[in-house]
Structure 1
């Protein structure tokens, strides 16, 4: 058993024989020098070299180190072992004494010992194999000649005589040449497979990055939603307390006159009870004189003027609450909570909308905060550029190409204006550059105190009467929806456009004058 283990440790993984001149690769495995050289030769041109034992890959031809400690062990081991001649394979060229063969040459049809293997031809035509390999399997079954050629038409191995007989006229080549071409094909396949593997690895890395980004976005959104609902609960609790307090105040206010009336009625009730007792006693008296005297003096006071006044107050008392005031308080509070929710979800840090003065027309003044713009009759003499609007219009520097976003404005009472969103490719001059007068912009418009929405020159007038000067725009890019809201109490939905957005969207504002003066607009990103 020990001998078998030792034999296994001293066996080359390539030729499966006891080591001959063993060398060590960088991966730590040992192999015969002549074996590894032959293996590495077959790898030339493929761009990668492989250890025959562990299949570790090397980008360059690996350096081999002679294993000095292992070099003498095979000889010492063999000297202690009885001569094994089970196979009967001996070196063809050792004629004086039989020497076990370590390899066989299929071309020479000869067995080689270590010494003759070193001097044997290294030509590719000489194919070396294990000495136990049957040469008969490498010979033509008809002509008993070594199979030296490959027939491409029949996909079979043939000898030299076969090429002139049954394979005459076929495309045949030497095995080595056919093998070389096959290896070239395999190398091309290998390159494609390596390329596809690299592409797949890149796709995996890209998907993993997307997964990380998705998790980060989900984590951020989860945090914002948790914070939002915490704030909503706090605001709802405060609103509930405020509404209930208003109800309690109204109940208390309405209860005071009721309490006074109840007290007066209690007094009258006691007075009536006394009179009832007096009358009952008189009814039981047999002497007519006291009865007649009481009727004359007391019965006239049974229903006095105060009693009539109390009856009038009781009829006029209405136990009602001012439900309109309670509803207004509730709606106002809910509107504030909803606006805060829009801001908490859709207004992300770093996405605050700012105006791009480089696009502003020359009759617009953009303040230094880049959030306020107003019309002026004084020409601003800005340089003429392809980005600048000729008329009274300006784009935002912020753009949106994904996600959901909400932004709000405050408008002047005077002047005419338009607000909305636009592609950056919108025209810069002429009627087609106006918000809503093209297919590249969507807008809410005010013209001579009339309100409408526009897109593609199609105008839709709003039937709802506008009651305030605050408006919001909500964008859901992926869903293809753009909505306009009036930010009053409560918030009112004005209109929703549906489209397939093909470019990033910028906020866009247009202001000019009417008979009452020029218009101004202020971005209120963080105020609603």
Structure 2
């Protein structure tokens, strides 16, 4: 008997060792991983296919990870042992349901269960089972005792509505449920099903409402995520742009400091060289005097021819050569910094959600009549077919000039041609025939031209210029991508700039130029001051003559695609930026204009 038990236990342990840890069945075509664990080939292939999406392969048992999909080595010995065990128990792996109570040597699926006998029967035992009415047969079940009364051991056939419990015949006749209202199990079951269906319908309705709320919340969540992602991207782009502008400003300011330092170094180096020559001359004279003082022969001392020239009273000790030299112009550097920071702040104000942008009038089409109050009072409107609307030759009415500011313009020396003198305050450009020997860079114009430092990305702005009565000049605006050399570098003679200019050296006739197309004005200049007005979003660039009354000369209307910079061209004369700032609607007499 003991040997039988030991043998059974050993057989059970052997079966456990021969089962795949994934499907829990005897091995089929077993394979082994590098870690030593075995699996059915089909089972481990499914696991590895699932892990292939993440790119991390691991053993399902010990979790050891492999850098790449592990190779599968067939375990022939284990497969043979599992196959022999499967052949000795042919039905063991197939039976998963309820087995026949009477088939004790090998498990056989049951087809019916007897409530009276409390046993499950296979086809063979069902044929020999009693067919008497008290033997009630049902589908195979493992809870047969629940179908009998725990007191009388009889089948439960009725339902007591008072106590809400299933009872047998004896419970209703002589038991504690005597005299209670009872129903057949089928009738009571149908009533309860009807109530359950009502409850189910209510639950379905509630669930549908909850699903709708879940969908609504998920949609809100999705939109919030999209909005947050969009805001994060917008802020990232904004800070990238700000960092780029700050880097550009830093480069410009440092370049200006270097330029001033180089210019000052050259100047002071010349002064030091001259002073060194004077110092050496003084040292020579001092040595000569010391030699005379040490001589004992009075005749030699008195006859020395250089004695009268040894001390030059005009030199004054050489102190006069150290003063009056230029120094680092801190005001210019500070002005560049302030202008650059102001430009960045203006840019931030235009995009800040806390300060909504004013509604800008859209540029009128080339076929429609402009409805803006400023332009509705202008005469001589001319339309062009190239997408640019030109308005010329009208007097500004009482609506006047409008804009937003300030538009503090400083000229960028790094872009100035070598025949232009730029004033210390960066407001005046003057032509000179003496080359300034500035370094040749990709930013510098190869003509008598210069750009402003500040770039305009949005808003409405204006700036004024005062021109000399002689010489040629052009004033306007341009994109930073304008050519700095070649045939199309001058403002007005390309598609990246717009300008107002004097037509000839010896006359006072004006014209406007864009893309090499020149439009002259019939009247002559009556003033030496002009105003340039920019409405970036509206796509308007206007030129005015600041006479009395103010004369509107010309307006381009287009779509600006790049930042705009002020631009000047000067030959045999000068142009001074005399003002700039915020402008509101003025009276036509112009007494309030800056």
TM-score after normalising by structure 2? 0.37
Structure number with the higher helix fraction is 1
Q: Which TM-score applies when normalising by structure 1?
A: 0.41
